[in-house]
Structure 1
Amino acid sequence: MPSRRPRRRRPHPPQSRTWGHHVRAALEDPLRQFQLSLAVLILLVAVGTVGYHLIERMGWINALYMTVITVATVGFGEIEPLTATGRMFTMGLIVLGVGVGAWAASNLVEVALGQTLWTSVQRRKMKDSLSHLRDHYVVCGYGQLGTRIVRDLAARGETFVVVDHDPSVEESLLHSLTPHLIGDATQDDVLKRVRVDRARGLVSALDSDANNVLTVLTAREMNPRLLIVARANAETSQSKLRRAGADRVVTPDDIGGHRLALALLRPAVHDLFNEIFSFGVDISVDVGQITIPENSPFAGQTVAGCDLRRMRNVTILAVRGPTGEFALNPDAQRVLRPGETMIVIGPAEAIYELEAMYGEE
């Protein structure tokens, strides 16, 4: 469990930017566009009815009837003689009615006949499901790195949600039924909607180190106990991300360089790593961790006494102490103590079962 960190404050985004973000998000939804055009049409009918009542002294029913036939341009003619002011009002109502009516009709056709209805329904379902998230992982950024993180989490059966600011990725996320939210992960309201306060962990894999720092600051403020892993695009950003509240910082270029050198110098070791740290859906071997609480059946046992090799075909690679030190390839008679963590390797299903049975909540 990550240690509690002091809460950090950062300037909130300007209110105009927040309102603009909400307006743009609403207008990008065709179903919302149709609802908006229908509301404008109803408002136009209401204004026309009140206008005829005040200008021509018509009764409410006659005023409503006159407004409807004018907006619809059916050409039934005037039900009562109009004054010059009334005729000017009618001409304006016709122009507005034609425009708003065409807007509403085109939106209706788009919603009813295209993929828009399905997309809108799926988007609404997705947004509703976000409120029920708990004990999940939040993946900020759905670029090349983010897609691999998502694939690995999905292959291991973890609950997660993706946050990305690019609307172009939404269609693929909807079709794959991947929980997601299109928005800026650096904004407080976006992280609130994906329930960071109830999440287990967050990975910030955005392309900009500055945005990663802001995301980490915001997430740490919302959930001081959250496990946060951040991507550093430059080595100089690692210390900034740790100061912002990241528990782990990963530099993809460094890891890629090490793996390339390993493939060149020790190809067999590289192939073993590929087998263990695979990103496919068919995982045969995996590495897991089991933290030992006070009431664990492993507490007070020796490495040999755990008998994981015989019962589960799982091997204990190392034991990490409470302060972070590692005992590699521990002796068979080494006693396991509460607060320590076993690093184990073996068949993927056996690892997942052990983590489910004895893993830390």
Structure 2
Amino acid sequence: MYRIEEPRLGGLRIQEWRRRAHLAVGMLFLVLLGSTLGIELLDHTDAPVSTKTFTAFWDAVNLITTLGDFSDFNADQKIFMLVAILVTVVIAGYALRQLAGMLSGDDVMIFWENRVMEHKLEALINHVAVCPFGPVGQMVAARLRDAGSTVLVLDSDAKQADKASRLGYMVMLGDQNSFDDILARARLDTASTLFLTGSDPNSNLEITLVAHTLNPALQIVVSGENDLRRMLLRKAGASTVIDQNDIVACAMVGQVDAQPA
């Protein structure tokens, strides 16, 4: 699910986690460098400098990675390694304490979910948008998906959006104040059809106008309850305006006609 009103704290937590991770890596690198120099300087053998450096680096890496495959130490090196081990344990513990749990909050999960949805939305083409996911919208979306269409649900109701997400639809959620942003990000420029299934005539008219402005070639299917409203919807850019009352009336009469005399 893509949320227009993304919790700002999620992004801030990730930025802080990255800052702390960089700090922890930097501190471990300093321990690695310091351990290498210390072990090398305390090596009193007659080995070449390159050999001393490599051996010291090997021991320092073993210290950081806790592998423990050390070379033989003299007394000075053993004392130095005791200090280095204590420093490494303290820094590793600090890093774990600082980083653990920061990426498990709901706000962070929403942040990552939005990033995943952004990539999916960028790849959308020839899809069908259904708005909103009410009783009619659910039936329309189900039939479209059964027919093989890629369905994107647009809604301002969190419960309906959650239901659509649980059913496996791609969903965009935003409140009424940010619904223009939903339409702008729903890739209507590459969509084939927009089904407006809501019962609010003013909202249907507004969405029709905005959607037609974003993509004049977009097919917009919407219902209108009277002649005036249907005329306004057509002028706003609707390609198909359905009279639900007429459909219901015909269905009811058809049921009576189908009964045996």
Taking structure 2 as the reference length, the TM-score comes to 0.58
| 1:28-52 Cα distance to aligned partner (Å, 9 max, x none) | xxxx534436769999xxxxxxxxx
Aligned to 1:241: 233
Q: 1:198 to 1:41 in 2, by over 3 A?
A: closer
Which one-letter code corresponds to 1:26 in the other structure? E
Q: 1:247 to 1:184 in 2, by over 3 A?
A: farther
Give the alignment partner of residue 227 of structure 1, picking from 219, 222, 225: 219
Aligned to 2:6: 26
Check whether the contact 2:129–2:194 (CA below 8 A) recurs between aligned residues: yes
Give the alignment partner of residue 210 of structure 2, picking from 218, 222, 245: 218
Taking structure 1 as the reference length, the TM-score comes to 0.43
Give the alignment partner of residue 263 of structure 1, picking from 243, 252, 255: 255
Check whether the contact 1:227–1:247 (CA below 8 A) recurs between aligned residues: yes
| 1:27-80 Cα distance to aligned partner (Å, 9 max, x none) | 3xxxx534436769999xxxxxxxxxxxxxxxxxxxxxxxxxxxxxxxxxxxxx
Q: Counterpart of 1:163 in 2: which secondary structure? A: strand
More helix by share: 2
Q: 1:174 to 1:127 in 2, by over 3 A?
A: farther
- Please report how far the alpha carbon of residue 187 of structure 1 lies from its aligned counterpart in structure 2 after TM superposition: 4.2
2: CA distance, partners of 1:266 / 1:198: 43
Aligned to 1:196: 188
Give the alignment partner of residue 181 of structure 1, picking from 159, 166, 172: 172
1: CA distance, partners of 2:233 / 2:217: 16
Check whether the contact 2:11–2:111 (CA below 8 A) recurs between aligned residues: no
Q: Counterpart of 2:169 in 1: which secondary structure? A: coil
Aligned to 2:25: none
Which one-letter code corresponds to 1:36 in the other structure? L
Percent identity (aligned): 24
2: CA distance, partners of 1:251 / 1:261: 16
Check whether the contact 2:156–2:179 (CA below 8 A) recurs between aligned residues: no
Matches within 5 A, 1:275-286: none
1: CA distance, partners of 2:15 / 2:114: 21
1: CA distance, partners of 2:246 / 2:237: 21
Which one-letter code corresponds to 2:6 in the other structure? A
Check whether the contact 1:187–1:218 (CA below 8 A) recurs between aligned residues: no
- Please report how far the alpha carbon of residue 221 of structure 1 lies from its aligned counterpart in structure 2 after TM superposition: 1.1
1: CA distance, partners of 2:149 / 2:17: 47
Query: Are 1:139 and 2:130 an aligned pair?
Result: yes
Check whether the contact 1:217–1:244 (CA below 8 A) recurs between aligned residues: yes
1: CA distance, partners of 2:114 / 2:17: 25
1: CA distance, partners of 2:129 / 2:195: 6
Check whether the contact 1:131–1:193 (CA below 8 A) recurs between aligned residues: no
- Please report how far the alpha carbon of residue 245 of structure 1 lies from its aligned counterpart in structure 2 after TM superposition: 1.2
The count of residues paired between Structure 1 and Structure 2 equals 177
Check whether the contact 2:225–2:244 (CA below 8 A) recurs between aligned residues: yes
Highest relative contact order (Cα 8 Å, sep 6+), 1 or 2?
2
Aligned to 1:36: 12
Q: Counterpart of 1:157 in 2: which secondary structure? A: coil
Check whether the contact 1:127–1:181 (CA below 8 A) recurs between aligned residues: no
Give the alignment partner of residue 242 of structure 2, picking from 235, 250, 267: 250
- Please report how far the alpha carbon of residue 233 of structure 1 lies from its aligned counterpart in structure 2 after TM superposition: 3.9
Aligned to 2:152: 161
Check whether the contact 2:10–2:108 (CA below 8 A) recurs between aligned residues: no
Aligned to 2:64: none
- Please report how far the alpha carbon of residue 113 of structure 1 lies from its aligned counterpart in structure 2 after TM superposition: 7.6
Larger Rg: 2
Which structure 1 segments of 5+ residues have no match?
Answer: 1-20, 44-104, 269-361
Q: 1:41 to 1:241 in 2, by over 3 A?
A: same
Instruction: Show structure 1 runs of 4+ deviating over 4 A.
Output: 37-43, 116-123, 184-187
Check whether the contact 1:131–1:194 (CA below 8 A) recurs between aligned residues: no
Could you say what the CA RMSD is over the residues aligned between the two structures, in angstroms?
3.3
- Please report how far the alpha carbon of residue 138 of structure 1 lies from its aligned counterpart in structure 2 after TM superposition: 1.3
Check whether the contact 1:220–1:226 (CA below 8 A) recurs between aligned residues: yes
